[in-house]
Structure 1
Amino acid sequence: MNWKVRLRNPVFWVQIAVSAFAAVLAYAGLTAADLTTWESVGALLCNAVRNPYCLFLVLSSVWNAVNDPTTKGVADSERARSYDTPSR
């Protein structure tokens, strides 16, 4: 995988954060509208970290965000590995 380009791409980080947070919200049976204070967000994240099943859901979501389904296995395509910056 072309980690150098992925890690410098802000879209990658947003994709990871949203997919992980969505998994936590879904497990807790909440929507983003239910989180009205930073305390409630902190409590939700602390409870998620303490729960092995919830961590599994987060890791599954992150895996889906990282994996390129258009290639065989878990590697990026030759073209994607040749990028110095994200493709347009």
Structure 2
Amino acid sequence: MINWKVRFKNPLFIAQLFLSFFLPLLGYYGLTAQELTTWGSVFSLLSNAFSNPYVFVLIIVSLWHAINDPTTKGIKDSEQAKRYQWPK
């Protein structure tokens, strides 16, 4: 089990999730963040990404690396981390 409540209190975790989602998209399509100047371009990029299995798998693997704690077995937090109320 993952202590989601505490993880989402950590701004670095939120930034890591955001970057894990968007950087594979930008890299695959050869874009920079400066090129996404309208909501239409963002939604078009997302639509293209979810219809492309390769890009979708890149995003899933990138998110996996952001969420997974390599110091524990499986996808879970340590017993100590499960008791946290705030990130340490």
Q: Give me the TM-score of the superposition, normalised by structure 1.
A: 0.80
* 1:37-82 residue CA offsets vs partner (Å, 9 max, x unmatched): 3322221111112112111111111111100122333221222111
More moved, 17-26 vs 4-13: 4-13
- Identical aligned pairs, as a percentage? 54
Structure-2 residue corresponding to 1:46: 47
Structure-1 residue corresponding to 2:24: 23
1:10 Cα deviation after fit:
4.0
CA separation in 1, counterparts of 2:68 and 2:22?
Answer: 18
Paired residues, number:
87
Cα-Cα RMSD: 1.8
Structure 1: gaps (5+ residues): none
